[in-house]
Amino acid sequence: MYPTFMGSVRSGLQTLVGLLLGIMLAAGVLLLGISNILTISLAVGAGLLFAGLPRLGPAATMCRWRPCWY
């Protein structure tokens, strides 16, 4: 099945939102001024939770490597 133009636009926007969320998480760790194993682990954990959001697109619907929470 071929993707439509609007489907491609939606996928691109979802990718952009995911990227911006990752940048904001990294900036938050840097702004704390304490980049150690704990803060980096918390940022990675938060990123993993964000990755499971259904609004972030088709990558969020793959439940093979983690439990589905929705």
Decide if 70 is inside a domain.
Answer: no
Decide if 65 is inside a domain.
Answer: no
Decide if 28 is inside a domain.
Answer: yes
Decide if 41 is inside a domain.
Answer: yes
Dihedral over Cα of 55, 61, 47, 23: its sign: negative
Number of compact structural domains in the chain:
1
Confirm if 34 and 42 have CB atoms less than 8 A apart: no
Decide if 14 is inside a domain.
Answer: yes
Decide if 45 is inside a domain.
Answer: yes
**Tokens linked to 36:** 């150690």
Chain mean position to CA 13: 12
Per-residue pLDDT of the chain (70 residues; tens, 9 = 90+): 567 888 888 888 888 888 888 888 888 888 888 778 888 888 888 888 877 777 766 654 555 555 555 4
